[in-house]
Amino acid sequence: MARIGVVTFPGSLDDQDAARAVELCGAEAVPLWHGSDSLQAVDAVILPGGFSYGDYLRCGAIARFSPVMDQVVRAANGGMPVLGICNGFQVLCESHLLPGAMIRNEQRHFVCTDQRLRVETNDTTWTRDFGVGDEISIVLKNGEGNYQADPETLQRLEENNQVVFRYIDGNPNGSNHDIAGITNERGNVVGLMPHPEHNVEELTGPSLDGRTFFSSVLGFLAARV
């Protein structure tokens, strides 16, 4: 059985949701503490949503220096699948595993909604079971989800097919190019603002579209073995 680590930072609030989603989708969820220097031999890592370190200084800026992140960065650079959800996406940007940065939502208020997304690429470890052009519904909840990058970085993301998800039916936070999620060039690191872990069972979400993230990475890991 695949082992997927879920990191808990001080201020994380969706770590248990992510762990539950991992278990529901057929893998073993392994809790990883922010102060640990071991990934406990996991096969993939999820950086969950929340407010790591209270979002002091800048969202994700302090979490980036947690001991566990040294291991996550090393593993990601070696090809391990890493998924950053909301605050986890912010941490990935602060860790320079993904380019760009997050700022306050354009409307200057917290957004909480069932958000429609379009899948722009399935050439990643976390999206391989989606079809390009699929339109999905995933819960979105953030106050600093406005993705920004310089023109050269945006051009590179577009040309390299690194935009994974794009907002449709309106841009909820002002992100450049309607970007909801991106990947690194290798395709093993994905960050997105919406919360797929909240869309894995009928009780808590308007769709089951979140399950495809987990089936994708489990399929990738199984094929690799």
3-state secondary structure of 94: helix
Buried b (16+ CB within 10 A) or exposed e, 138-153: bbbbbbbbbbebeeeb
The mean pLDDT of the chain is 96
pTM, whole model, 2 decimals?
0.97
> Is 86 an active-site residue?
yes
Residue 205: predicted pLDDT: 73
The catalytically annotated residue of 25, 120, 144, 195 is: 195
Q: Give 14-71 pLDDT, tens digit per residue.
A: 999 999 999 999 999 999 999 999 999 999 999 999 999 988 888 899 999 999 999 9
> Is 135 an active-site residue?
no
Residue pair 189/183 in contact by the 8 Å Cβ criterion: yes
> Is 197 an active-site residue?
yes
CB proximity list for 16: less than 8 A, separation 6 or greater: none
Residue pair 64/91 in contact by the 8 Å Cβ criterion: yes
Residue 225 has pLDDT above 80, yes or no: no
Residue 104 is which amino acid?
R
% residues pLDDT > 90 (the chain): 93
The catalytically annotated residue of 25, 59, 86, 93 is: 86
What are 80's strand-pairing partners? none
**Average pLDDT in the 160-164 region?**
98
Q: Give 97-146 pLDDT, tens digit per residue.
A: 999 999 999 988 999 999 999 999 999 999 999 999 999 999 999 999 99
The catalytically annotated residue of 94, 120, 144, 197 is: 197
Distance of CA 65 to the CA centre of its chain: 18
Residue 204 has pLDDT above 80, yes or no: no
Residue 57: predicted pLDDT: 82
Q: Cα separation of 42 and 28, whole Å? A: 9
Residue 75 has pLDDT above 70, yes or no: yes
CA distances from 215 to 51, 53, 220 (A): 27, 31, 8
Residue pair 148/100 in contact by the 8 Å Cβ criterion: yes
